[in-house]
Amino acid sequence: MAAHITGASPGGPRYDPSLTSEERTHARNGIWLCETCAKLVDSDVARYTPAILRAWKALAEAVADTKVGKTETRPPSAIIQNLYVEQVNVTVYSNREPLVAAPPATPPTELMIVENGGFEQGTDGWGTGFYESYFASPEGSALLFSHAVARWYIDDQRAHGGQGRALRVEHDTTNTPHVFSSFTQRIKVERGQRYEVKYWAYVEALDGPGGFSLRVLPSRRTEPSEWDRFRKKINPAVRNQWQEVRFEFESGRDSFFDLRFTAETTLKLWVDDVSVTLIDGSGAPGGALGRSG
């Protein structure tokens, strides 16, 4: 449906008294939204400002230009915490060709916390995490929030150990509030313990603020204060070489957490060898409990 970016009349959502009547009714002040999103943006004008709506419009028009004359099947979508979210499959490539069958799985061990941390078994263990209930087939899927444009896939072009597979991320959207993409694994830990998280990243390109990070979030509906509590960004200054990223988190009263990789700006990079390690009472890691490839 057609919606106004700034209100059509005094008292309307985001009304701008500096505009003329002609400017308020012009196509430049309009944006196409589904009925659900139209209600959402008008019910929270502090969050969905004219600047954000104009950014959505510009991005949608740019994406549409690239798809003229092409047939596309729209991916499953949902409204999650007032954000429009699309589900996209994460493809596994070998020598730049998609694999028809998944690689053979490695038998799990009792000490495993992170499954398939090296992505050698394709997307096994990875998907939408806590948001799985919103989608019919959440396994092996990344999520695009608020019309983000991104591709997440697994290839064998650059692995941390020199051979094997790694997760490739190509995020095309510039840094915009609430616009990001993510790929997640839910893990189980012991309550009241401290853990170290580690992964490796190889940055090919990264522009602007926002960056790329791994968040550790309780696998439940979280509070705003929990969003960045356990989070570590990559160093954007380290390019064309592998960098190690590590940080700690406390499980508190929760047993299940999401390891959620998040891209929030224009970037191209690889991720590999994700692990979680229990820290013993002395403050030192008590043995690698993650699995990498």
**pLDDT tens sequence across 173-206:** 999 999 999 999 999 999 999 999 999 999 999 9
| Mean model confidence pLDDT for the chain | 85
pTM over 0.75, yes/no: no
**pLDDT tens sequence across 140-179:** 999 999 999 999 999 999 999 888 999 999 999 999 999 9
DSSP E strand boundaries for the chain: 2-4, 30-32, 77-80, 83-89, 91-94, 97-98, 141-145, 150-155, 166-171, 180-188, 194-206, 212-218, 231-233, 242-250, 256-263, 267-279, 285-288
Rounded Cα gap, residues 243 and 200, in angstroms: 6
Question: Which amino acid is located at 196 in the chain?
Answer: E
Specify whether the CB–CB gap between 105 and 124 falls below 8 A. yes
Q: What domains, with CATH codes, occur in the chain?
A: 2-66 (no CATH), 78-288 (2.60.120.260)
Percent of the chain with pLDDT over 90: 53
